Amino acid sequence: MSHEESIERSIENAFASVEIEGLHIDTECVDWCRQVLLNQMSKEEYLKLLLKKAGVSV
């Protein structure tokens, strides 16, 4: 299994776990998570985007 396949499997598992709990993650947040795991975005930038999406001033 390649690194990218492993990341996709991890994302799918996490997504399923959240859905089982009755919550929902939109595709934009999933894409941001994928970018962090592929080192295409820093964790700091990811957190800024999440806070902005939630309406929290940064």
Tens-digit pLDDT profile for residues 14-54: 999 999 999 999 999 999 999 999 999 999 999 999 999 99
3-53: what fold? Helicase, Ruva Protein; domain 3 (1.10.8)
Q: What is the pTM of this model?
A: 0.81
Supply the Cα-derived Rg of the chain in whole angstroms. Answer: 12
57 pLDDT tier (thresholds 50, 70, 90): confident
CA 44 from centre of chain: 13
Element (H, E) at 49: helix 43-53
Residue 56 corresponds to which amino acid? Answer: V
**For 55, phi and psi rounded to 5 degrees?**
85, 20
